[in-house]
Amino acid sequence: MSIESALTIPLGFRTASVKAGIKPSGGLDLALLVSDVPCAAAGTFTTNRICAAPVRWDRPLVPSESIRAIVVNAGNANAATGEQGEKNAAETARVAAAELGCEPSQVLIASTGVIGHQLPMDSLRNGIGRAFGALSAEPADFHQASHAIMTTDTKPKLASSQLVVDGQPITLLGLAKGAAMIGPRMATMLGFLITDARVSAKDLQSILSDAVEASFNCISVEGHTSTNDTVLLLANGASSEKPLQGADLERFAELVHSTCQKLARMIPDDGEGATHLITIDVEGARDREEARTLARAVADSPLVKTAVAGADPNWGRIVSAAGYSGVDFEERELSLWLNGTPLYKDGMPLDFDAQTVSANLRAERETTIRLQFKRGEGAIRFWSCDLTAEYVRLNADYTT
């Protein structure tokens, strides 16, 4: 079964993708996600102080009960573009709203690509017009949209899942992109989830914020937080007149959570030049934020990432990354496992066969690093990827 045929599309949503002429490659670079009716909408955004004009546009609009569409372009981030960039963002929303016969404030936008260049507005306006003429609810077209939002990604990132409430299926579809400038890059992390569930904007925002905290905020490619990171969730209520409540709402929240985790994990797995997906499990920290701080120091260490690339069980790099994280643990509180092999126990090195562990690291696409502390109940699962010469090659010549 191909990815395309496996996708289930929420009721009442349509998409279209076109070659608007923004990417120098001339590939697909503009995608629309349109709901037939106004949606409840939630969003989470980059914390970078240099934040893109589309982020500035969206941020005050969510949560909302009345969003009709998302317009996404790749090939240009519309970040660090000053007032003209803000005007261009507003114009993008206005053009789409005119097509839909709604207010510009009912249109969310997202951009990804190079920083510091103005959007080619004539091309963009023309592309939006063409896209509105091509809207479709076919799975193949949503699959194409997941390609249109890619920059240096090598694989599209899609996930759909269903839940049955009162005999009625509720469908959730997610699309994401990102392969670098993930901490959570200039190529940038974007995620879009659409569902036919009926959920209030307030509940939706709370569910999305919790889900992002344990998914898109637990990944790193190189620790460079993008100017454009955006995750949006639209719920149009097409599956039922009755809003989700109680246990059903919790089941829906779990669906959002698992879908966000699936999509998030695909990002470092497709990290630029990556040959290993690294899962970092931290346990026994004082609290979840402390666990995140420890996991992120390990996830972002170029020395840990190059060791994994080389299938080198150089565990000293892992414990020393935790050591400079800023968390004031004692060495004797720390134990470490690499792909299940114990290497360090209560602050003491253990004997192990380096050749066997290295062979295992080399053979497996996934590397698991488990750090156990004795400070409390704080735990987190975090995903990163290795650092290869290919990452350097890809990034040493991006704009020129």
Long-range contact pairs involving 164-168 (C-beta distance under 8 Å, separation at least 24)? 165/239, 165/240, 165/244, 165/248, 165/251, 165/252, 166/240, 166/242, 168/239, 168/240
Q: Which amino acid is at 300?
A: D
* Closer Cβ to a second copy, 254 or 330, answer by number: 330
Helix (H, G, I), strand (E, B) or coil at 315: helix
Residues with Cβ within 8 Å of residue 309, at least 6 apart in sequence: 275, 276, 386, 387, 388
Query: What kind and span of H or E run contains 378?
Result: strand 378-385
Write down the least CB distance from residue 139 to a second copy, Å.
35
* Closer Cβ to a second copy, 166 or 328, answer by number: 328
Q: How far apart are CA 379 and CA 356, in angstroms?
A: 29
Write down the least CB distance from residue 383 to a second copy, Å.
17
Q: How far apart are CA 371 and CA 350, in angstroms?
A: 15
CA 32: distance to chain centroid? 18
* Closer Cβ to a second copy, 8 or 47, answer by number: 47
Write down the least CB distance from residue 348 to a second copy, Å.
4
Q: Which of 92, 118, 121 is nearest to 105 (CA)?
A: 92
Q: Which amino acid is at 288?
A: R
Residues identified as active-site: 188
What is the CA angle 156-162-168, rounded to 5? 145
The pair phi, psi for residue 311, each rounded to 5°, is 55, 40
* Closer Cβ to a second copy, 18 or 309, answer by number: 309
* Closer Cβ to a second copy, 176 or 311, answer by number: 311
Write down the least CB distance from residue 287 to a second copy, Å.
17
Write down the least CB distance from residue 225 to a second copy, Å.
4
